[in-house]
Every structure is written in C-alpha cells, then in structure tokens.
Amino acid sequence: MQIKINEELRSYIEPLTESEFQALESSILGEGCRDALVLWQDVLVDGHNRYKICQEHGIPFKVTENTSFRNLEDVKLWMIDNNLGRRSISDYQRGVLALRKKEIVRARALELAAQAAAEDAAVAPPEGEEAAPKKSTVMPLASREDIARAARLSTATIGQIEKIQKTATPELVEAVRTGTISINAAANVASLSEEQQLAAVAGGKKELQKAAREVRELRNAGRPAKEPKEAKAPPSADYGHQPTEVDELRAENNALREKNAALLAEITALQLRISELVNA
C-alpha cells in the first residue's frame, strides 16, 4: 500500500520538539516501531514522525486502518481525543486541542440545526392541524465548561488560551508553547500592542514576566479602592523579598473575590429596590 500524507493532518497536531524527535528516533532504532500507524483508507492519520523515521532508516512497521471515519472532521476529532489522552503534552497544547474540538462540534451542531429546520419547513402539516413536536436530534453546543473538562483544565485557563489565540503575536504564542512564559502571564501580555509584545518576547523570560506584572498592576489600579484591613505585615516585608508571580496571582484572586462579593451585594440591593417600587 502506498501511504499518502495529508499536509493538513500532518500539521494539525503540535509538532515534536527536536529533543522529543531525537528521543523517539533513538527508541525506534533500538527497539523497532512497536506501535502501528493509523490510516484512513490510504491516508496517514497517526504516526507521521514514526513513519518518517522508519522510511529514513529502512525499519519495518505495521499499519491499521480505522474504518469508522466518515469524513475529515471525524479524523480530526479522533486525532484530538487521541492526543488529549496523552500525558506528555502541555496544558497549553491541551487547551488548543480542546478549543479545536469545540469549533468542530459547534459547526456540526449548527449544520444539524439548519438541516432540521429545512426538514420541518418541507413537511407542512395538513390544514387546520398543528405539527407534532419533534424530538431534537441536534448536537448541543460545547460550553466552556465542557471544553475545560475535556482538556482537564480550569475554565479560567481555557479563557486565557482563547485570548492568547485571538490577540497574541506568533512570537508570544511560541513563548508560551515552549514554556518560556506561563499561560496566565501570556494572556496578560497578549492585551498589549503588537509592538509591545514583540519587545517583551525579544527581552526574554524576565522581560515577559515584567510586562505581565505591569499589565496586572495597571488593571488593578483601575479597580475601586478597598478599605485597608488590619493585618500582619507579610514575611516579604521583613526580609526585603520581592513579590513573586504566585503572590501577585493570589492577591489578584482575593481582589476578584472581594469585587464579586460587592457586586452581589449591589445586585441584592437593586432587587430589593425594584420589589419596593413594584409593590408601592
């Protein structure tokens, strides 16, 4: 069988780093290609790196065909689920794959909804009779919670990855992909202009962290001032320790909790006022 390479499928999953590829090559040279390559008819679906290594070194390999695929979308969904089940991929990669799955599921749901509407319009009930309610067969749209569950991440992290994908420069995306900057910090830097992002990436890890910290501080400065609380000085005040990113995230989390509590109190007061006006 002549195996075909579909470039869209080959590049659909995050490529291996140079060190990962070398480790895989060493394993195959020493132990052979133990896992079978997965095909869709004669198109390679899973095992592009193994296939390349085996071809270069003349190493035999096995293939298996998945006959459940109906179209390219089925193939992509299988590739996503297959890679989400692996432990070696990063949180960012998990989020990207889960968001890709969300788009496929959403597109299918909208397509099915359009088909169902067209079928309902084509089958008109007899005059004077109402159409019997039909049980919906439309796929539900994937919520952010569903996507987070599939990726084994928090909904907040999924939101940050969405922001990175929408507004981050390719250079910033590469920085978070390689672990130079955290997802949370990258989402903050992604709110800057393209020029500012490029400058931060060019400055390396420290400059990226500094840019992320400045964005957080600027955002916090725009929030309403809170009443000071009596509390013991943090240990960092005694030892001249500079706040770490974890300290800043904890502070931001506490600020958001307090803001949320204030908003809930405001909503309750407004609801009470509405009730009083209605009953007046």
C-alpha distance from residue 28 to each of 24, 62, 183, 201, 262 (Å): 6, 13, 33, 36, 60
pLDDT at 241 over 90: no
Q: Are 32 and 60 in contact (CB under 8 A)?
A: yes
Reported pTM: 0.66
pLDDT at 74 over 90: yes
pLDDT for residue 220: 85
Mapped onto helix, strand or coil, the DSSP state of residue 65 is: strand
pLDDT at 108 over 90: no
Mapped onto helix, strand or coil, the DSSP state of residue 158 is: helix
Read off the amino acid at residue 23: A
Residue pLDDT, tens place only, 11-49: 998 888 888 899 999 999 999 999 999 999 999 999 999
The domain locations on the chain are: 1-70, 168-222, 253-279
Q: Return the minimum-mean-pLDDT range out of 83-87, 238-242, 248-252, 268-272.
A: 238-242
The rounded distance, in Å, linking the Cα atoms of 94 and 84 is 6
Residue pLDDT, tens place only, 152-201: 899 999 999 999 999 999 999 999 988 899 999 999 999 999 999 999 99
The DSSP output letter for 87 is S
Mapped onto helix, strand or coil, the DSSP state of residue 46 is: strand
pLDDT for residue 98: 92
pLDDT at 203 over 60: yes
* pLDDT over 90, % of the chain: 52
Who wins on pLDDT, 65 or 278? Answer: 65
pLDDT at 234 over 60: no
Q: Is the dihedral of CA 214, 220, 222, 226 positive or negative?
A: negative
pLDDT, mean of residues 250-265? 65
138 — pLDDT class (breaks 50, 70, 90)? very low
Residue pLDDT, tens place only, 204-220: 999 999 999 999 998 88
Backbone angles phi, psi at 43, to 5 degrees: -95, 130
pLDDT for residue 89: 85
109 — pLDDT class (breaks 50, 70, 90)? confident
231 — pLDDT class (breaks 50, 70, 90)? very low
